[in-house]
Amino acid sequence: MTKTIISPSGVRGIVGESLTIEFAAQVAAAFGAYLGGGKVVLGGDTRQSYGLYHAVVRDALLGIGCDVIDIGQAPTPTHQQAVRHHQADGAMVITASHNPIQWNGLKMMNREGGFLSQAEFDDFKPFLDKDFGELRGAIAPGECEEDNQAIERHVARIFEALDVSAIRKSTLKVLVDVNNGTGAIADPILFEKLGIQVAIMNGEPNGIFTHTPEPVKENLSQIMNAMKEGGFDIGFVQDPDADRLVILDENGHFIGEDYSLALCVDYILSHSDVSDKKVVVNLSTSQVVEDVAARYGATTHYTKIGETHVTQGLRDLGAVVGGEGNGGVIYPKVGWGRDSLTGIVIALKYLAESGKSVSQIVSDYPTYVMHRAKREVASREEVSQLLADFESKYQGEKMDTQDGVKVYLADGWIQMRPSNTEPIVRIFTEAKDIETAQRLAHL
């Protein structure tokens, strides 16, 4: 049986197996006790098990003394905005993000609307070992209220940070694959307010994903074919909780997760008047982002993988923009998390204001090829041995050991690291061509 994954990124497991109702309630009660009660925003994505977990998480939070602000099914970045709006003490989001349909999970946020830092997560973990009675003590139950305007406020926040007048005046035609996730709820609101032509694929928010949820090329043949036939200017794909975004060009070509991030970083830096520009990305992000940033005299800083680490880096450095190479754009002027709605607006502004097509923009970037592989692991000991062997093999080469081991070679780079969300070790390689990238992956 697949083990429950517990990390600062949250808790994930197989519905009814490694993520039981009882364990979900325990996590919620532990989180409420860790917060010391107070206000907690609650909601999640459209997965079919949402209702089941929502009820037990809500009741556990109420029972531990938290007041719950229920925003229902909405994008993860909408929850982050709701925390700030309500001045809440935290949030719980019922989602397994890009994981397959049989998974669900719980993401936890702090009072700033960001995910728990490593230090916060370390403080939270001991509460998981306490039973409910010990956690609750003599605390009176909390109260629950519904907030049905969270997505509208999220969109308004984006429009405050990013002038959309050029988009509204444009004739851009857009295709979006929301894959039956929360984009199916949020995107109609966003595009109605933008006032441009949009077609939404797989737009029923029922959690019955039309294709495997992770927005990578092998899962996107449907929208790629539709783009080739429909005369669209740009295509977007979101994952189920709508924090990740990838872009297709006007010809239906998948430009890649990292290049989707690079396009957004390019636009933001080109319109930034900050003198000391900084960009923060994780260690698995393509070199293309650093190359694009360098055009504007910006320095690129790398963190461990995980949204919480990138967000902390953005805060610490006062960076202009950042994100993760999986298509997660983080723009601090909007919020402290990956936000596909913000990414959509940035990309559309780039097209509307420049008059360029996506293919023209991306053709100006250096070409890199990323190869991703993974290997299932059975234990922490197996992970440790794999990493030790890998580091030994490349002893003497330039390395970064913040997160697993990343090795920089003359013809590319290789990174081996344990996943935060699945029982696997990930192996990333990047080079100028696919042959070299694949060769580097053959460890």
Tokens representing residue 336 in the block: 């402290």
Residue type, 39: K
Q: Within this chain, do residues 47 and 136 fall inside the same structural domain, yes or no? A: yes
**Domain end (from 363, 383, 399):** 363
DSSP code of residue 181: S
Distant-in-sequence, close-in-space partners of 239: CB < 8 Å, separation ≥ 6: 97, 98, 179, 181, 213, 214, 215, 340
pLDDT in tens, the chain (443 residues): 467 888 888 899 999 999 999 999 999 999 999 999 999 999 999 999 999 999 999 999 999 999 999 999 999 999 999 999 999 999 999 999 999 999 999 999 999 999 999 999 999 999 998 887 777 665 788 999 999 999 999 999 999 999 999 999 999 999 999 999 999 999 999 999 999 999 999 999 999 999 999 999 999 999 999 999 889 999 999 999 999 999 999 999 999 999 999 999 999 999 999 999 999 999 999 999 999 999 999 999 999 988 999 999 999 999 999 999 888 999 999 999 999 999 999 999 999 999 999 999 999 999 999 998 888 887 878 888 899 999 999 999 999 999 999 999 999 999 999 876 667 888 999 999 999 999 998 86
Catalytic choice (97, 170, 260, 340): 97
The answer to whether the CB of 394 falls within 8 A of the CB of 413 is no
Is residue 190 located within the same domain as residue 323? yes
Place of tokens 């260690």: 283
Q: What is the largest CA-CA distance in the chain?
A: 64
Q: Is 392 a catalytic residue?
A: no
Q: Where a domain ends, among 333, 348, 363?
A: 363
Residues 319, 386: one domain? no
Q: How many structural domains is the chain composed of? A: 3
| DSSP class of 140 | P
CATH of the domain at 121: 3.40.120.10
Helix (H) or strand (E) holding 416: strand 412-418
Same domain, 342 and 397: no
With 0.85 as the threshold, say if the pTM is over it: yes
Q: What DSSP string runs through 187-226?
A: HHHHHHHHT-EEEEES---SS--SS-SS-SGGG-HHHHHH
Range of the domain at 311: 153-363
CA 135, 139, 144, 149 torsion: positive or negative?
negative
